[in-house]
Amino acid sequence: MIVSASYRTDIPAFYGEWFRRRLAEGVARVANPYGGQPYEVPLRGPGCDGFVFWTRNIAPFRDALAEVAAHDLPFVVHATITGYPRALETSVTDAERSIEMLRWLADTYGPRAAVWRYDTVLITSLTPPAWHRETFARLARALSGTTDEAVLSFAQIYAKTRRNLMIAAERHGFSWEDPVEETKIALLYDLAGIAAEHNLSATLCSQPELLSSGLAPARCIDAQRLSDVAGEAIASKTKGNRPGCLCAESRDIGAYDTCPHGCVYCYAVRRPELAKRYYRAHNPDAPMLAQGCKEKTLHE
């Protein structure tokens, strides 16, 4: 089984020590986010085929990656780099530093281990379509030769996302919109063309209705890419977690409402202040990432 760490939170940026302790033990416990029983996920041995890591900042996780490699476990890192203003991403690592770290990753573990994510694409008065074209071109130019894929997706406006966007817009004085489909397709078409100019394959995550020329469906949990890194075939069936998702079957070891990056468009955090409290209450010795956090934060 492929282990995802994690599309629910940023384990490399904030919970690296917890991951290292779980790796040493060989197993992590995970709370079912939909109210089911907790379950265990093997992190070593025959039950673990490798890892897909998701992060805004790989720097604190370098030692953990070395430990994963020492166990002969392949991994792929999805690094999100957008260059957004601080009003939209309050605590995210500077784009230039993130580019530097993705280059380090590719130099150390090979370019197939590195994937650039330019998502979520959010249209605001601070980031209109022209801003995205210019910023994406700058980032693509800097990352050319470091990775071969740029993953794109437009913001999904859930109820919690809308609430957080409205609060941030009032606080920082910007406006935002969820554009019509034609506008999204036009911008994605342009970004795909820019990616191709810099030898990057542009893929689109779980939004098949927005696919256009130059864009391929993304396979974020990509068994073939992980096989390339491993140097041997990793068999896994396609089992997406939402309509249009082409990811290989995996088990995620993260927890929602625990990432304190403060991205206003985040689907995984109900309230940014809650995530910060969870992070402060985190215990790296706990077998489950968010174990005990809810109870502790209720008394703050």
CA distances from 5 to 37, 149, 162, 213, 294 (A): 20, 19, 26, 31, 21
Buried b (16+ CB within 10 A) or exposed e, 138-175: ebbebbeebbbbbbbbbbeeeeebeebbeebbeeeebe
Backbone angles phi, psi at 158, to 5 degrees: -80, 170
Summarize pLDDT for 175-197 with one digit per residue, the tens. Answer: 999 999 999 999 999 999 999 99
Distance between CA 38 and CA 35 in Å, rounded? 9
Q: For residue 100, is pLDDT > 90? A: yes
Sign of the torsion angle spanned by Cα atoms 39, 44, 46, 50: positive
Distance between CA 22 and CA 44 in Å, rounded? 10
Summarize pLDDT for 124-175 with one digit per residue, the tens. Answer: 999 999 999 999 999 999 999 999 999 999 999 999 999 999 999 999 999 9
Q: For residue 222, is pLDDT > 70? A: yes
